[in-house]
Amino acid sequence: MTQENIKDLEKELWEAADDLRSNSKLTAGEYKDPLLGLVLLRFAQNRYEDAKIEVDARLTINPRTGQKREATNDDYAAAGAIKLPEKAKYDYLADLPESEDIAAAINNAMKLIEAEYPDLEGILPKNYQEFDEKLLQNLVRVFNKDAVKNAKGESTSFRVL
């Protein structure tokens, strides 16, 4: 990521924070967990996309069928990622039409991840209905910018799963 991209990302994140402070009825303590949940979803997909290549290369081919076996949660954990259900992927959420209930979709994404990873049950935020719909759509868009999509970071936290 170039220095210019980092500055652009920083500017957009500050604008999103300002938007939250001025247009949300929630206090910082109330919106921090849902906001961190969005960050988790974005970076979980970033890591998932990187790991998918590694996982696919490791999958064995069934000699009888000639087909690769399906990747498991353990395959993704070994690659430092979590296996995301389709409706828990950030791209799915970012591409929802404005007529869809984005809060319900994000809450559902969190529930889907918890269903796949029981150790996370009750930990992920599921109170997105408390956000104004327009504000939530704008936040999802901010974390869907190329600078955030292409951000790389430490993946060791996913290895714990």
Residue 26: pLDDT over 80: no
Once rounded to an integer, what is the mean pLDDT over residues 140-149?
Answer: 81
Predicted local confidence at residue 142, as pLDDT: 83
Predicted local confidence at residue 155, as pLDDT: 44
Once rounded to an integer, what is the mean pLDDT over residues 16-40?
Answer: 77
Confidence at 21, pLDDT banded by 50, 70, 90: confident
Two structure tokens written together for 123: 């930990």
Predicted local confidence at residue 139, as pLDDT: 86
Q: Which residue has the higher pLDDT, 3 or 153?
A: 3
| Domain 3-159, CATH class in plain words | mainly alpha
pLDDT in tens, 60-107: 888 888 899 999 999 999 999 999 999 999 999 999 999 999 999 999
Phi–psi pair at 68, nearest 5 degrees: -75, 145
Once rounded to an integer, what is the mean pLDDT over residues 35-40?
Answer: 88
CA 32 to CA 128: how far, in whole Å?
11
Nearest to 81 by CA among 73, 69, 92, 91: 73
Confidence at 158, pLDDT banded by 50, 70, 90: very low
Predicted local confidence at residue 31, as pLDDT: 74
Per mean pLDDT, which range of 81-85, 128-132, 145-149 is the poorest? 145-149
What pTM was estimated for this model as a whole? 0.80
Mean pLDDT of the chain: 85
Q: How far is CA 23 from CA 16, 126, 128, 135, in A?
A: 10, 20, 15, 7
